[in-house]
Structure formats: C-alpha cells, structure tokens
C-alpha cells in the first residue's frame, strides 16, 4: 500500500495542497502531514487548516529563526531524520518556498522519491529567492506536476527528462472549485467588517513581496498610488511584515489617513474567496503569485506590481497587467482597466490555462500508478558518454515524425525565430522555426 507524506510550511502551500490531501482521504491513502514551521502561527496556518477542513499536521517542526540559510538547514536536518524513520514511498510538496526546497533536498540525499506540485514556473528573474528555489527543486524531483503547457515547455527547455514531467493543471483551480461551494452561507468577522465599511465598488489589494516591502521607495510609491485612486474604495489586506515596514518608514499615519482605504489584517482563505467573488470587487491590485491565478479563475482583472511574473499565461490572455512600483503608473493603469467596459468579455473567451479543477485527481492517479518506479534510474550509456545536442533550422513544413525519421533524432525543444520555446504537441513543424534535437 502506498505510503505518502505531504509537506507544507506556508499558507499558499496549505491551500494548494488541500485538494490533494482531501483526495488522499477519499482514497484511503496512508498519508502523513508535516508542517515545517516556516510560517506557523494560529492566524497564518492554524486557522486556515481548520478553515479548509483538512487534518492537522501529524508532525510540526521547530524552526526558531527567520534567517533563511539557518532555517533551511534546520528544516533539511529535521525532515531528513523524520523521513529516514518513517520511510515513505513518496513525498509531495507544492510551491517555491524554503520549505519545499528543504523537503526536496532531504528526499534527494535520502533517495526518497519527491513529487513537485506546481513545477516549471519561471519568472526568469534570479534575484527572486522563489525563482532560485523552483529551479533547484525541479532539478531533484522524481515527478514534476506542471500546472500549464508553458510550465512543461520551461522544464523541457532545461533538459529535464520528459518521462518525469506530467501536465496536470494547477491545484488552485481545484481549491477554488471545492471551497467555493460552501461560500453562500459562510460568514466571518472579516466579511462583516467589510460589509459595514464598504457599501460601494472596491479594489482588493495585497502587498507582501520582498522587492516591494523591503525597498522603502517602492512602498512610498504604492501609497502614492492609493492616494491617487480616490474615486473607488480600496480594501487593503496587509501582511504583518508589510505593516511593520510601513511603520518603520513613518508612513503608517499617511496610509490610514487615506479616506477611501480600509486596512485589514491577514484574512482566512474562505473569506478572501467570498470577497473575490463579490460583484462589488472590481479589480485585484497585488504582487502575489497565487492571487494572479485566482483573479483569472474568478474573472477579476489583476494589476500586478512586479516587473515579471511566473504566471505569464494570465498576462498573455489580457487579464493581468504588470506595472512597476511607480505610483503614477499604477494608478493610471488601474483607472484604465476600471473604465474598460469590454474586460469581462475577454474573460468569457478565455480557456483556463490551469485546467478544469481536476488536478488533484490527476496527480494522485499518476502517483498511484507509478510510485513503485519513482526513483531515478541509472543513466544509459551512450557512445559519446551522454546526450548530444544539435540546433537545426527547419527549411520546410514537415511532419514531426518524418523529421525525426529523416535526421535519426528525437526532438526535445522547438524554438521560434526569437528563441522562445514552443509547444511540441503539434505534428506539423513550420518553416523557419529552429529546434534542438537529441542524437540517439
């Protein structure tokens, strides 16, 4: 019988793993849940676990530091000890935090198969700790559960074995689908507070990313944007660290003096789902990764205060807009989108790039069918000692199978003329695209 372990350490990880955990219970899979303690407190983790109806963690680690490198080392050590004792058949985690990185490395050094949920996301910005974590985690994962076609392409582009990659969709779609069913009768003090204070249309805002919070100039610019957006109410869910930094730069009084802005503490997931679903919520202003996805799913335009995103599908579909941390630009883009009467028509035409809400089913199907062969296999010996790659320009429209037969190769990545990797599911290769091939 399959013995599975799920590891999480932050609120977004709990949300994205919740549908998988619920499905393991439905299938009676032997599951152990570990909380790394990365963001453990009753408000950030304890309440949300109860909120989502998933079991409490079987094991809670103790990480008594906020220093990233020390925290990472402690988590690897503690996880390694637990995994050696419990001997799970496979371990899963979702996301790009230190908890996920520690889990993947603990599995790797102990030769325990690891499945990465949300594999293949790339912002191509190595200044982001999350980007470095993603690449490291994907490199040592046994199974890579990709949330979108773009994520699959990113993994293939990095020469990760295609046999380890599975297009499953994003479990956040499952979460929204599952937990939205109970929203009609759901109530909380957060929702009541907003109902009491906000009687008209509003913007929902969250800011927590290091690139915004740790740079005083960026925080000031965001507050300037709030001040300029004086024609619509703003509901600001402020992360504790964000509020602390605003106070440190002596801008808290300035923030709370904005007449159309209401500041709330971190909110439980069901409350935020209900608020996002509210017809009076007209736009999301954020630097969060998860909210970009949830905005698309719930048909809300999103303005993301970042120079890049690992969710490019939202931008390409014309419902997410990247802006720099400049007050004038932020407010101008927000005003333009709020005035766009056709934005909702765009949502109606979008096919969700993150799937239909059955990702957790696919992930567990794959694990149940393949867990006994999940460990890395020894690399086969090639005449040159390893794979050999070549770049070839296609001079004619040609069938993929015919091309591989003609050149005695296997296509692993196709590029357009700009060098962007493309989907290789289509059989016809078009003229003027370049490909990388593997010589067999």
Residues 218-249 pLDDT 10s: 999 999 999 999 999 999 999 888 999 999 99
pLDDT digit string, tens, across residues 356-407: 999 999 999 999 999 988 766 665 555 556 666 778 888 888 888 888 888 8
Give the pTM: 0.88
Among residues 116, 208, 239, 279, which one is catalytic? 208
Q: Specify if 383 maps to a domain.
A: no
Residue 89, SS3?
coil
Give percent above pLDDT 70 in the chain: 92
Element holding 264 (H helix, E strand):
strand 261-264
CA 360 – CA 31 distance, rounded (Å)? 15
Please tell me the predicted confidence (pLDDT) of residue 408.
81
> In 3D, which of 238, 277, 295 has the Cα closest to residue 43?
238
Same domain, 246 and 360: no
Domain harbouring 64, CATH code? 3.40.50.2000
Same domain, 86 and 116: yes
The mean pLDDT value for 331-346 works out to: 95
Q: Specify if 381 maps to a domain.
A: no
Better-scored residue on pLDDT, 421 or 424 = 421
pLDDT band at 41 (very low <50, low <70, confident <90, very high): low
Same domain, 205 and 290: yes
Better-scored residue on pLDDT, 268 or 359 = 359
Same domain, 326 and 257: yes
Same domain, 290 and 424: no
CA 79 – CA 102 distance, rounded (Å)? 8
Catalytic residue check, 208: yes
Question: Across the chain, what does the average pLDDT equal?
Answer: 90
Q: Specify if 26 maps to a domain.
A: yes
Same domain, 393 and 278: no
Q: Specify if 176 maps to a domain.
A: no
Q: Which domain holds residue 435?
A: 388-439
Same domain, 140 and 236: no
Number of domains in the chain: 3
Same domain, 397 and 323: no
Same domain, 364 and 334: no
Q: Specify if 382 maps to a domain.
A: no
Q: Specify if 64 maps to a domain.
A: yes
Please tell me the predicted confidence (pLDDT) of residue 384.
58
CA 270 – CA 35 distance, rounded (Å)? 21
Cβ pair 247, 239 in contact under 8 A = no
Q: Specify if 319 maps to a domain.
A: yes
Same domain, 124 and 223: no
> In 3D, which of 244, 236, 288 has the Cα closest to residue 267?
236
Element holding 240 (H helix, E strand):
helix 240-248
Q: Specify if 56 maps to a domain.
A: yes
CA 6 – CA 22 distance, rounded (Å)? 12
Please tell me the predicted confidence (pLDDT) of residue 355.
96
Same domain, 405 and 332: no
> In 3D, which of 104, 103, 138, 132 has the Cα closest to residue 120?
138
Give phi and psi for 17, each to the nearest 5. Answer: -85, -20
DSSP H helix total and E strand total for the chain:
19, 19
Same domain, 41 and 146: yes
pLDDT band at 44 (very low <50, low <70, confident <90, very high): low
Which residues fall within 8 angstroms of residue 352, CB to CB, at 6 or more apart?
A: 173, 296, 297
Q: Which of 134-138, 181-185, 347-351 has the lowest mean pLDDT?
A: 181-185
- How far, CA to CA in Å, does 117 sit from each of 137, 294, 312, 321? 10, 17, 18, 26
């Amino acid at each position: 019988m399959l013995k599975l372990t799920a590891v999480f350490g932050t609120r977004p990880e709990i949300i994205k793993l919740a549908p998988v955990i619920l499905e393991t219970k439905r299938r009676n899979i032997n599951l152990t849940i570990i909380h790394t303690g990365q963001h453990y407190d009753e408000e950030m983790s304890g309440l949300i676990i109860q909120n989502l109806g998933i079991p409490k963690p079987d094991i809670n680690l103790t990480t008594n530091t906020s220093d990233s490198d020390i925290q990472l080392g402690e988590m690897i050590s503690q996880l390694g000890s637990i995994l050696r004792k419990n001997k799970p058949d496979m371990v899963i985690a979702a996301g790009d935090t230190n908890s996920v990185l520690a889990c993947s490395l603990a599995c790797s050094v102990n030769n325990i198969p690891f499945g990465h949920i949300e594999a293949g996301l790339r912002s191509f910005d190595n200044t982001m700790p999350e980007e470095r974590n993603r690449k490291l985690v994907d490199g040592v994962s046994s199974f890579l559960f990709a949330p979108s076609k773009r994520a699959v392409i990113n993994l293939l582009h990095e020469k990760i074995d295609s046999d380890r990659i599975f297009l499953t969709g994003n479990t956040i779609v499952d979460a929204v689908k599952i937990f939205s069913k109970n929203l009609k009768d759901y109530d909380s003090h957060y929702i009541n507070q907003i109902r009491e204070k906000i009687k008209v249309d509003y913007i929902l805002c969250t800011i927590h990313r290091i690139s915004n919070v740790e740079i005083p100039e960026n925080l000031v610019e965001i507050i300037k944007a709030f001040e300029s957006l004086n024609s619509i109410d703003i509901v600001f869910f402020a992360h504790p660290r964000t509020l602390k930094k605003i106070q440190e730069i002596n801008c808290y009084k300035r923030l709370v003096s904005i007449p159309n802005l209401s500041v709330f503490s971190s909110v439980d997931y069901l409350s935020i789902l209900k608020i996002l679903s509210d017809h009076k919520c007209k736009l999301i202003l954020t630097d969060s990764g998860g909210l970009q996805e949830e905005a698309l799913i719930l048909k809300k335009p999103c303005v993301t205060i970042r120079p890049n995103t690992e969710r490019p599908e939202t931008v390409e579909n014309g419902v997410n807009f990247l802006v720099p941390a400049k007050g004038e630009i932020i407010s101008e883009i927000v005003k333009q989108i709020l005035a766009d009467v056709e934005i909702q028509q765009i949502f109606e035409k979008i096919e969700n790039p993150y799937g239909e809400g059955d990702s957790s089913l696919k992930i567990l199907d794959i694990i149940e069918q393949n867990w006994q062969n999940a460990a890395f296999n020894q690399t086969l010996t090639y005449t040159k000692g390893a794979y050999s790659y070549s770049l070839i320009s296609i001079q004619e429209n040609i069938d993929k199978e015919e091309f591989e037969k003609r050149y005695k190769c296997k296509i692993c990545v196709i590029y357009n003329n700009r060098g962007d990797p493309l989907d290789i599911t289509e059989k016809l290769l078009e003229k003027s695209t370049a490909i990388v091939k593997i010589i067999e």
